[in-house]
Amino acid sequence: MMITSVAAVDVIDDITSCIKEADTKELSKFFSSTVSMTLLNDDGVYSRVQAEIILREFFNRNLPTGVSIAHRLDSNPNFRYVVLNLETASDTFRVSYKLTNSDNSFRITEFRVESIY
């Protein structure tokens, strides 16, 4: 059980690093085959490739200057939920994502980016 918790923490840290670096190619490796995504006012269910393209366009307009974990729920062995504060030169966003355990591997099934007013 301890190994699962350590792996879950590592995946959360790895995803946070990808977001901080705006590395959508690496981030997309953590996506499930389809991702429910809300990006500001647009939402839909996208393939892994579509989700990567949408996020790449977002990061091209909003290059991260800082990322911090605001909340994490990682006590359930099959489910993780993380909320990040994403700072850019012009705005601050709240990024949240849900990870689901599938075949002993956590995959992002929901990804959300909201502007903080």
- Do residues 84 and 70 touch, judged by C-beta distance below 8 A? yes
pTM of the model: 0.89
Q: What is the mean pLDDT of residues 12-38?
A: 96
Residue 82 pLDDT > 80: yes
Q: Which amino acid is at 99?
A: L
DSSP character string of 50-64: HHHHHHHHHHHHS-E
Predicted pLDDT of residue 74: 87
Predicted pLDDT of residue 88: 95
Element (H, E) at 4: helix 2-21
